[in-house]
Structure 1
Amino acid sequence: MLVAILLIECVAFNLPFWRTLGASTDSASVANALGAGLMRRTDGMLTVVDPTRAYMDVKADGTSRYARVDASQPSVIAAAADNATTNPKLRTAFTLRADGDGHVGRMQLVSTGTARSLYLRVDAQSTIRVWIVEAKGTVVPLDAVRANVKVPFHVEPLRLAGMAAIALLAAAWRPGSRLWSIRLNPASRRQRLALALLLTPAAIYTIWSIVLHIRGAWPLVFHAPGSYTYDFDQYAHAADALLHGHAWLDLPVPDEFASASNPYDPAVRDRLLTEGVTPIYWDYAFLNDRWYSYFGVLPALLLFAPYQAIASAAAGRPLMLPTGAAMLALLFGVLVFGVLLTIRLVHRLAPHASLAAASMAVATLLLGSNAGYLWFRMNFYSVPFAASMLLTFLGLWLWLGAERTAKAGGIMQRHLWRANDRSETALSLPHLAAGALCIAANAGCRPTFATAALLGIPLFWRHIRALFADLAARRMSYRHACVPIAAVLAPAALVVMPLLAYNAVRFGSPTDFGSDYQITVTDMTRFRQPLANLPATIGYYLLLPLRVTDSFPWLGVNPTPLTTWGFAEPLVGGLFILFPMLLPAVALAAPRLRRRIAAPTRRMLVAALALAAALLLFDAYEAGLGWRYMTDFGWLIALAAMPAIVALGDGAERVGDSRHASMPADTTFGAHPQGARLRRLLGRSVLMMLLAATLIIGFLSAFVIGRQDAMINNDPQLFFSVRSWFIL
């Protein structure tokens, strides 16, 4: 395996090096002929004065299929960038087209910050003409074009790590992998140790990245004259307000804005901005002459405020927790409790499930929950989603572990509760209470996740039914009946009541979270999503197809036209298109599969699908079309997909409760009749293809140009570095 990876790295990804070993390297670059559409500045950079004649010519001798553009010195580029007023159209990433001997070449994005991207592939025997395909007035930091060049040999550690990860996943999930013959055993010390070792690199990466974020922290405030102020430290401001004992944010409010007839009207705001009124904060809530954050306050209270209080006291000056650092901590929690939740659920579904099937279920939850999107966009918009996902996974993990085998004796034993002496199972009151606390805490993060509490009804239905039946038959005292109810409601009230009071202090009503007062693209105090958009929005959320392009990353943003204007974030695809691994969830509709699942788990998974549908409808109507809103319901569909994943990988007979626990462990192919072996081979191959498609689409989606927080803007060096792997 290692040899194959090294061969791919040294040969396939370095083909340009081997192909240009015989290049003459002779170049008349110092004598590049400039087209009349380019003007050389005193600092050596070029200005496009006429796009129809903006080209550079250089002679070639045919010994190399590559040319190289030489960028201006970094000091020259930095000096020009610092003087933004005189260089408003300076571009360090721009589009070129290399024509060889009069034959039209292909467009290519290049970046002066990534040396590998400056090589242009072009076949020419005599002349290369490089066009600068940019608008009039654009300044490009190019010194010259060189022909007949050698492409240097390059070993890329990130690429090697990626290939190693692919090889490990392929080895783990291939149909004949030994992991298919090892039973998932949550009680095994060896498996627990293996899980801890697997999570260790993620923990190290998280800690290291948090340290880097904190050491390199700087205020994320951006303002341009005549425009809004974009302040991405919203959670840090909310924490600072809490530390100072008030609910509003300590941000300036211009008098003209406060006295405006309707500050929520975009036309009024545009007029004020034109008149130079500033700052007007984008996507902050404004009410009664004060700025507020309408995002859930709990992350500010539990993460940002403690850090800022301690760090500021230690440093002797105000310090803020970078949002990226908080997101890394939250996402690591999502990873840990997502894994634990999946293991517990899969073990309930199939006590003899294999490690391979369980690991595929873990991947399905982590990918299908849209956690990758949150990791990609680590700003304040993602904080409430990540916090709620962590709390929900933790809460459900606790609830799934609440049911215990009852022992002989009384009905109350060491924090266990059961309806009566005849009950075979009991409930752990600490698990009930802690799970309820976590799920209720979603009201202070992303409130839609609080609906996960409804999953407790089918999960504990037999205990609920026994409780009311015994009460009706007077076999249970009211005091005993109130114990589990209080274990759930008391912790929930403990966290929800202060949050409702916080809402009342800010916006005058316990149930008003402030989203109607946000300063955004429209007047949210009056706007409602048009019902006519609802069918299309739901369709886009689920099944928006991919738009394939002819250049890296070969995917593009797909248009999502609506009947009437409504919020629509640029999307690459719908949920089932981005995450094909969620498709097995539809198998839950099959009665044969459902009958094999123990009743409590079956009811919970069916309820999860129903809840996902309800949240999809809610988001489509209340929020519009947003990639991040898939997080509200994607994880629920991922849970519903797990029975089919186990059935496809291990066989349908493996799905079931403890009544099937006597079944022998899988010995991969040898212990089953020919038909069963073929079914397993086919099922495992299907799962591998679905996961591979999910990973490939997810990887390419990260590089799509036109999506929000596009990598080409936020991390151009990584974008152009990875792009060069595939285009040279």
Structure 2
Amino acid sequence: MPTLRRNITYLYESRVLPRRSLLAHIAKVAAVIIVIALFLEVFVFNINFYKSLGYNSIDLSDSLELQESSDEQYKITEVDNVIEFSNLNTEVHNVYLKFDWEQPAQNLTFKIQFTDDAHATYFDTTEYTLGVPEVDISTMVPESQYVNLNTTGYVKNLRIELVGNEKTNYPVRLTSLVLNAHRPFSFNFLRFFGVIGLLAFTYLFRPGSSVYRVSIARRPKLSKGGIICAVAIEVVLISSFLFMGSNLVGVATSTYNFGSWDGHSIANPFEVGGENAQQYAELAKSMSQGKLYLEEEPPDWLQQMDDPYDKGARDELQKETGEPYLFDVAYYQGHYYVYFGVVPVLLFYLPFYLATGASFPTAIGVLLAVIAFILGCSALLDRFARYHFKQVSLGLYLLLQIALVTCCGILYLVKFPTFYSLPIACGLAFSVWGLYLWMCGRGSQRPCGWYLAGSLCMALVAGCRPQLVLLSFLAFPLFWRRYITERRLFTRRGAREFACLIAPYVVVAAGIMLYNNARFGSLTDFGANYNLTVNDMTKRGMNVGRLAPALFTYFLQPPCVTGVFPFLQPTPFETTYMGQTIKEVTFGGVLACLPVLWVLPFASRILKLRISQRSTRTTMGVIVVLIAAGVIVALLDAEMAGILQRYYADFSFMFLAAAVLLVFIVNENLVPGSTMAQVFTKVLLALVAVSVFYSALICFVPETGWYSDVYSWAYSSFFETVLFWT
């Protein structure tokens, strides 16, 4: 029997030695990337450390005219909130406000003014100029407590005012105040590894990279290894981002969300998001008792209302009685119901409740669904690239896979992993896996099992996000030729296969219809019209006047940007529709903000090229259905619910998938290594980079209810990481 040493020797000689030059090249590139990242972190991102070495520090703590505490600290109160120094007559490069880190953590807004050789008086914003902007300082982030000032000559007077608000926790304890402080050297590991990742990404996808010479079809092992690595990195990054927003996760351990930890479990779930955010969990409890409505009883005044769906009337009665009602649930004949798709309850909440007696953490469900979507999306894309487009390289695949995963809206679902996001994420996950299983069935000699599993996934979408059922129409271009044109449907074997395609739809539809009938007395009523929301859904109807603003917002509106991280801002919204418009913050239309979709206007010409080269028109049909479904879903969302950022996930995948297939077609008609192919790669790389950058930035835009709002004092560390020169 071979010894361990012989096995190691064999592996080294058979695997490592033949690839010495490749491994040496990889090691060299990795070393160069690490050295560059190290240089940037040490000498560029710490520029303030080097600049401040020669400063003449002045400690003004003893000159503070503030109330002192027993521990020799200074108190800034709601009344005594201004610090002012006169006749300084010195250069001032920065101000260091050191706060007691043991006080309650918070983000403080300060207004700093000064007089210098260019200003005899304090200056502020005017019609033509902008004064010194207010600055946010975190009591828990030391880097934020150093504020660089751009003064002219000597500073005479300096005024620092704490601009408080309803969230400010007084008194604020100040330890010291120093002018021209020496900034400490700070090695930010998050930034360091982030730069390594960006440099590695840039090197890997540079136009001349060998990754574009690795064929998906001809190098299956190497290409699959690269795909698995890319997917693993995406899953880790997305999981890390979700857990960063700890206020929405709903899971506690001894070191994570420890304020909600039960003290003995390895991990325990806890409720987040308020009462109406527990709908799925409460429905699971009710189902365990054989009921389909929520246990909570609506207040008497709601049951006695002539029109309980009028929000204004509801709010008035709530004020009069002092009895609250559940918001954003379906109300019907004296009971609360959940109108969101029931499949996530059956998939996650009910089994978890029956097993543990606790409520399933919604964020974990969103994460699992998103991971399933990434895996299914990658498998589906690989299926097309490997079996239908023979010239797709690993580099092209990875570029498009990253764009498809990053830009389809799932990152925003992860940013807000609530029960609103869960049905969409589940619907997308079931859709891509359903399509993948269908594709496997089309290439199999025994497709019945594939068809059953694929159609079950596609049918379950109706119990998650009904809008996404439109993706089931892809069955027409995928199966029309085989079962209709070639008349396979009229054979015994073909009829059996076709029955496998249809049967899961029949079963799932029957189950959903019985569920609807048991709740609302109608087979087709999902209960959305009975929603207690901001408008009366029973009378909303369909109005063509709502379509134009939705089309512009969802598709064409340019992003609103500033020069400060995270650069993106909510876009303005104006409409001439003289009725109620349901609108939350959005960040621009997909066609304006995702350049990777700019191939869509050329779809007709590209499809004509494909038709001229192939006798079948399956790919053309798939692309046409994807584009048409994307437009229809966007308009349905606008008509039925409104204009919301999370709804972008309903239709963005459809447009991106169509764009990917169009790029594959173009790539098939390019000669590898030709000038045109090189130009094509460079243009595509730029379009993907901008699209991914935009989608990533949305993740860090401050929003109500997110990490930036709940833990603003910690969120400021992101600003300090990016805006290293401030």
Q: What's the TM-score once normalised by structure 1's chain length?
A: 0.82
Name the residue aligned to 1:712. Answer: 708
Q: Helix, strand or coil: the match of 1:109?
A: strand
Name the residue aligned to 2:601. Answer: 586
Q: Cα RMSD between the aligned structures? A: 3.0
- 1:587, CA displacement in angstroms? 2.6
- 1:454, CA displacement in angstroms? 0.5
Q: Helix, strand or coil: the match of 1:431?
A: helix
Q: Helix, strand or coil: the match of 1:558?
A: coil
Within the alignment, does 1:113 sit opposite 2:140 as a pair? yes
Name the residue aligned to 1:496. Answer: 509
Is the alpha carbon distance of 1:137 and 1:6 closer, same or farther for their aligned partners in structure 2, counting shifts above 3 Å? closer
Q: Is the 8 Å Cα contact of residues 403 and 691 (structure 2) preserved in structure 1?
A: no
AA paired with 1:432? Answer: Y
Cα separation, 2, equivalents of 1:462 and 1:137:
64
AA paired with 2:679? Answer: L
- 1:24, CA displacement in angstroms? 3.6
- 1:177, CA displacement in angstroms? 0.7
Name the residue aligned to 2:369. Answer: 330
Is the alpha carbon distance of 1:367 and 1:199 closer, same or farther for their aligned partners in structure 2, counting shifts above 3 Å? closer
- 1:465, CA displacement in angstroms? 2.1
- 1:435, CA displacement in angstroms? 0.9
Q: Is the 8 Å Cα contact of residues 94 and 140 (structure 1) preserved in structure 2?
A: no
Cα separation, 2, equivalents of 1:44 and 1:220:
38
Within the alignment, does 1:95 sit opposite 2:109 as a pair? yes
Q: Helix, strand or coil: the match of 2:98?
A: strand
Cα separation, 1, equivalents of 2:510 and 2:166:
59
Q: Helix, strand or coil: the match of 2:58?
A: coil
Q: Is the 8 Å Cα contact of residues 594 and 691 (structure 2) preserved in structure 1?
A: yes
Q: Is the 8 Å Cα contact of residues 330 and 528 (structure 2) preserved in structure 1?
A: yes
Cα separation, 1, equivalents of 2:405 and 2:237:
17
Q: Is the 8 Å Cα contact of residues 213 and 393 (structure 2) preserved in structure 1?
A: yes
Name the residue aligned to 1:605. Answer: 623
Cα separation, 2, equivalents of 1:324 and 1:60:
54
Is the alpha carbon distance of 1:490 and 1:646 closer, same or farther for their aligned partners in structure 2, counting shifts above 3 Å? closer
AA paired with 1:295? Answer: F
Pairing 1:390-409 to 2, within 5 Å after superposition: 390-404=429-443
Cα separation, 1, equivalents of 2:46 and 2:401:
35
CA-to-aligned-CA distance 1:176-228 (integer Å, 9 cap, x gap): 01011110138823433443344445566788988993645554356xxxxxx
Cα separation, 2, equivalents of 1:93 and 1:717:
4
Name the residue aligned to 2:406. Answer: 367
- 1:395, CA displacement in angstroms? 0.4
Q: Is the 8 Å Cα contact of residues 180 and 357 (structure 1) preserved in structure 2?
A: yes
Q: Is the 8 Å Cα contact of residues 537 and 620 (structure 1) preserved in structure 2?
A: yes
Cα separation, 1, equivalents of 2:98 and 2:337:
49
Specify every segment of 5 or more residues in structure 2 that has no aligned partner in the other structure, as ranges. Answer: 1-32, 116-121, 124-130, 244-248, 258-267
CA-to-aligned-CA distance 1:223-246 (integer Å, 9 cap, x gap): xxxxxx643222222222222221
Name the residue aligned to 2:178. Answer: 146
Q: Helix, strand or coil: the match of 2:539?
A: coil
Aligned match of 1:70 in 72, 95, 98?
Answer: 98
CA-to-aligned-CA distance 1:478-513 (integer Å, 9 cap, x gap): x44531221111112222211221111122212111
Q: Helix, strand or coil: the match of 2:113?
A: strand
AA paired with 2:644? Answer: G
Q: Helix, strand or coil: the match of 1:584?
A: helix
Is the alpha carbon distance of 1:589 and 1:47 closer, same or farther for their aligned partners in structure 2, counting shifts above 3 Å? farther
Q: What percentage of residue pairs aligned between the two structures are identical?
A: 25
Pairing 1:182-331 to 2, within 5 Å after superposition: 182-185=214-217, 188-201=220-233, 213=251, 215=253, 216=257, 217=268, 219-220=270-271, 230-275=275-320, 277-310=322-355, 312=356, 318-331=357-370
AA paired with 2:386? Answer: H
Cα separation, 2, equivalents of 1:497 and 1:255:
35
Name the residue aligned to 2:465. Answer: 446
Q: What's the TM-score once normalised by structure 2's chain length?
A: 0.82
Is the alpha carbon distance of 1:139 and 1:190 closer, same or farther for their aligned partners in structure 2, counting shifts above 3 Å? closer
Is the alpha carbon distance of 1:636 and 1:40 closer, same or farther for their aligned partners in structure 2, counting shifts above 3 Å? farther
Is the alpha carbon distance of 1:202 and 1:357 closer, same or farther for their aligned partners in structure 2, counting shifts above 3 Å? closer
AA paired with 1:268? Answer: A
Is the alpha carbon distance of 1:131 and 1:554 closer, same or farther for their aligned partners in structure 2, counting shifts above 3 Å? farther
CA-to-aligned-CA distance 1:7-59 (integer Å, 9 cap, x gap): 1112222111111122344311243346xxxx999996534459xx9555488
Aligned match of 1:430 in 419, 437, 449?
Answer: 449
Aligned match of 1:176 in 208, 217, 222?
Answer: 208
Q: Is the 8 Å Cα contact of residues 587 and 641 (structure 1) preserved in structure 2?
A: no
Within the alignment, does 1:130 sit opposite 2:160 as a pair? yes
Cα separation, 2, equivalents of 1:234 and 1:156:
41
Q: Is the 8 Å Cα contact of residues 186 and 343 (structure 1) preserved in structure 2?
A: no
Is the alpha carbon distance of 1:141 and 1:122 closer, same or farther for their aligned partners in structure 2, counting shifts above 3 Å? farther
Cα separation, 2, equivalents of 1:59 and 1:111:
29
- 1:715, CA displacement in angstroms? 4.4
Q: Is the 8 Å Cα contact of residues 572 and 701 (structure 1) preserved in structure 2?
A: yes
CA-to-aligned-CA distance 1:120-140 (integer Å, 9 cap, x gap): 121454443223334599555
AA paired with 1:721? Answer: S
Is the alpha carbon distance of 1:159 and 1:481 closer, same or farther for their aligned partners in structure 2, counting shifts above 3 Å? same
Name the residue aligned to 1:19. Answer: 51
AA paired with 2:509? Answer: V
Is the alpha carbon distance of 1:576 and 1:203 closer, same or farther for their aligned partners in structure 2, counting shifts above 3 Å? closer
Cα separation, 2, equivalents of 1:685 and 1:60:
56
Q: Is the 8 Å Cα contact of residues 560 and 587 (structure 2) preserved in structure 1?
A: yes
Is the alpha carbon distance of 1:399 and 1:40 closer, same or farther for their aligned partners in structure 2, counting shifts above 3 Å? farther
Name the residue aligned to 1:652. Answer: 669
Is the alpha carbon distance of 1:67 and 1:454 closer, same or farther for their aligned partners in structure 2, counting shifts above 3 Å? same
Is the alpha carbon distance of 1:717 and 1:339 closer, same or farther for their aligned partners in structure 2, counting shifts above 3 Å? farther
Name the residue aligned to 2:118. Answer: none
Aligned match of 1:341 in 373, 380, 383?
Answer: 380
- Equivalent residue pairs, number: 648
Aligned match of 1:159 in 191, 197, 200?
Answer: 191
- 1:581, CA displacement in angstroms? 1.7
AA paired with 2:197? Answer: A
Q: Is the 8 Å Cα contact of residues 309 and 537 (structure 2) preserved in structure 1?
A: yes
Per mean C-alpha deviation after superposition, the further-off stretch among 523-532 and 184-193 is: 184-193
CA-to-aligned-CA distance 1:350-405 (integer Å, 9 cap, x gap): 21211011111212221232111111111111000100110000000111222237
